[in-house]
Chains A and B, each alone.
Chain A
Amino acid sequence: AQSVTQPDIHITVSEGASLELRCNYSYGATPYLFWYVQSPGQGLQLLLKYFSGDTLVQGIKGFEAEFKRSQSSFNLRKPSVHWSDAAEYFCAVEGGSNYKLTFGKGTLLTVNP
């Protein structure tokens, strides 16, 4: 069965600083990987996804993520964080006969002015 680990429960960065959120996955076949963002009181919004090909994928809101098969990682990055990026971020892997999404426990991002 697939699984996702997000090692950091809570990260605090200053506005304008760079950001990296870590994600490690476990899946036997080629993984389909996703990053979602959840603002308070909102549903999840897809930031970006990786299926195949170029291991550096670009998403919305200036986010990017890099797939590293050797490390089973799919870390999310942003060069300069804005106060509006404060939210909870979830990494997910798709797998199984019904293409089920399995989520990590999330990383809460706080942005200091």
Chain B
Amino acid sequence: EAGVAQSPRYKIIEKRQSVAFWCNPISGHATLYWYQQILGQGPKLLIQFQNNGVVDDSQLPKDRFSAERLKGVDSTLKIQPAKLEDSAVYLCASSSSGRARDEQFFGPGTRLTVL
């Protein structure tokens, strides 16, 4: 079974530029998550999708971050414009149903450096 795929693996940009990350979840998984992991901290949930609808985006900085999950499969996360404090690893995860005790499977992440 193929795991969660993410691209690119690394990205370096200047502040105020825009960037986009892509995630392809495990086939058949209804729930998709984007996490931000700043160096020295644990992952923080940015947004959770159930199929193509948003379940939780309470910690997404909506003035600069956006995400979509078209057709309930793959997803993109965009930052526009980027700030220095956005430097982090962005992890995508998926789970089969998003219900209680449902295991989340994580992709390898995209490491973003903002200069």
Residues on B facing A (Cβ under 8 Å): 4, 40-45, 48, 55-56, 91, 93, 98-104, 106-109
Contact B56 A98 (CB under 8 A): yes
Which of B42, B91, B99 makes the CB contact (< 8 A) with A43?
B91
How many A-B residue contacts, CB cutoff 8 Å? 55
Residue of B nearest to A4 (CB): B42
A71 at interface (Cβ–Cβ under 8 A)?
no
Residue of A nearest to B56 (CB): A98
Within 8 A of B (CB), among A61-107: 90, 92, 94, 98-101, 103-106
Given A90-B43, A98-B56, A103-B42: A43 and B98 interface contact (C-beta under 8 Å)? no
A45 at interface (Cβ–Cβ under 8 A)?
yes
Within 8 A of B (CB), among A1-42: 4, 9, 32, 36, 41-42
Residue of A nearest to B40 (CB): A105
